[in-house]
A = this chain, B = another copy of it.
Amino acid sequence: MAYEHSLIMAPTLKDIAEKAGVSPSTVSRVLSGRPGISEATRVKVLEVARELNYAPDMSAQGLATTQLKNIGLVGYKYRTRWAGSMAPADILGADAAAQKHGYHIITTYVDSEQMKSITSLPMVDERRVDGLVAIGPGISTRLILHLHSRGVPIVLMDNFIAEAPIDRVLCENHEGAYAATRHLLAVRSHKRTAFISGPISWTSSRERYEGYAQAVTEAGLEPLRIEMPNTIYETGYQAMRELLREHPDVTAVMAVNDATAIGAIKAAREAGYRVPEDIAFVGFDDVDWASLHDPPLTTVRVPRFEMGYQAVERLIERLERGDVPPITIRLACELVIRRSCGANR
């Protein structure tokens, strides 16, 4: 059974039309729910369509309507590792929302080096998508601004651009970090604490730091921030080594995310500290192995699935309702208390 060069012939509007004894335009109107069709032909057409297992050809529909029902998910990837700013949960959530509305998700990862120079994306230039969801703080502002000024509908996720009114979905970084830090300070008394941060230009780093700083300040302590160029495991390890060199008296550390937290814990242990007895740690994200770590990591759960879902929902609303004013959606985080913070359990 040889492959054809393309997919096997699928039924078209014309096929339905002939079989139902009407014109293709009538079929089109029925299928897209236009008014002014008699009940009799409506049911007939729908019947035939179902029987023939009809589905519209999106290229044709896209050509005619300029609405492809494709939305682009763009993240970035690091050179050195096989990971990027899009987590499976993001895509799962985005796909769930997309499926609900009959949309599809086109994913792409932009190399973080190339990110600096590009000003558009192939999927946009080639009109493969109706709009974009840009995921992560590393998506370049320049790129976003260029796309936005061209009129490309776009919603930002885990990113905050002050320069233009663009839809955003974020989690309550400030509140989450504040709650986590308060908890840290409540478990037992600390004199010196620190926050391990990514680039302060990254929304999540900035907002989480501010939440931490507020809690610490309210407790009469001085906030301490150590800023790193990214937020991966190795960086957390490195950050903690530097921190301990300068401030060996630190007894509580909040990390900007779980990966850096775990790197930091490794460094602390290597330096002879017990965790959480000597130094308490909290992370952020609640990645799926945070509970499997030893000690299980106290962290702030970020609802990635929900964020992906909301981002796509919002984008579709913009696409279908037209010119709605941009909003920023904040999703609540949840403090997950485990053992790295030194709490009883």
Q: Which of A300-321 contact B (CB under 8 A)?
A: 304-305, 318
- Does residue A183 face the partner (Cβ distance < 8 Å to B)? no
A151 adjacent to B4 (CB under 8 Å): yes
A92 adjacent to B84 (CB under 8 Å): yes
Q: How far is the CA of A66 from the CA of B70 in the complex (A)?
A: 18
Q: Which of B82, B95, B289 contacts A88 (CB 8 A)?
A: B82
Q: Which of B55, B104, B304 contacts A82 (CB 8 A)?
A: B304
Residues in B whose Cβ lies below 8 Å from that of A92: 77, 82-84, 109
Q: How far is the CA of A166 from the CA of B16 in the complex (A)?
A: 33
Q: Which of A34-56 contact B (CB under 8 A)?
A: 53, 55-56
Q: Which of A243-265 contact B (CB under 8 A)?
A: 262
B3 adjacent to A318 (CB under 8 Å): yes
* Closest CB in chain B relative to A234 CB, distance in Å: 11
Residues in B whose Cβ lies below 8 Å from that of A116: none
Q: How far is the CA of A250 from the CA of B190 in the complex (A)?
A: 46
Q: How far is the CA of A295 from the CA of B142 in the complex (A)?
A: 44
Using a Cβ–Cβ cut-off of 8 Å, how many residues does chain A contribute to the interface with B?
70
Given known contacts A6-B130, A55-B122, A82-B305, is B66 in contact with A63 (CB within 8 Å)? no
Interface 1/0s, chain A 52-81, versus B by CB < 8 A? 010111111011001110100000010000
* Closest CB in chain B relative to A324 CB, distance in Å: 9
Q: Which of A149-193 contact B (CB under 8 A)?
A: 149-153
Closest to A89 in B: B82
- Does residue A323 face the partner (Cβ distance < 8 Å to B)? yes
Residues in B whose Cβ lies below 8 Å from that of A292: 233, 262, 266, 289, 293
B107 adjacent to A3 (CB under 8 Å): no
B323 adjacent to A66 (CB under 8 Å): no
Residues in B whose Cβ lies below 8 Å from that of A152: 7-8
Q: How far is the CA of A91 from the CA of B152 in the complex (A)?
A: 25
A2 adjacent to B58 (CB under 8 Å): no
A58 adjacent to B126 (CB under 8 Å): yes
Could you say which of A10, A92, A106 has the most chain B C-beta atoms within 10 Å of its C-beta?
A: A92
* Closest CB in chain B relative to A345 CB, distance in Å: 16
Residues in B whose Cβ lies below 8 Å from that of A109: 91-92, 95-96
Q: Which of B10, B83, B294 contacts A89 (CB 8 A)?
A: B83
Q: How far is the CA of A305 from the CA of B107 in the complex (A)?
A: 15
Residues in B whose Cβ lies below 8 Å from that of A66: 6-7
Q: How far is the CA of A58 from the CA of B128 in the complex (A)?
A: 6
Of the A-B pairs whose beta carbons lie under 8 Å apart in the complex, a sample of 9, sorted by A's number, is A7-B66, A59-B63, A60-B63, A83-B88, A86-B88, A92-B109, A99-B108, A102-B122, A106-B106
Q: Could you tell me which A residues sit within 8 Å of B by CB distance?
A: 1-8, 10, 53, 55-60, 62-63, 66-68, 70, 77, 82-84, 86-89, 91-93, 95-96, 99, 102, 104-109, 122-128, 130, 149-153, 233, 262, 266, 287-289, 292-294, 304-305, 318, 322-323
The 9 A-B pairs with the shortest beta carbon distances in the complex, nearest first, are A55-B125, A59-B62, A294-B294, A289-B289, A8-B151, A6-B66, A59-B63, A82-B89, A82-B305
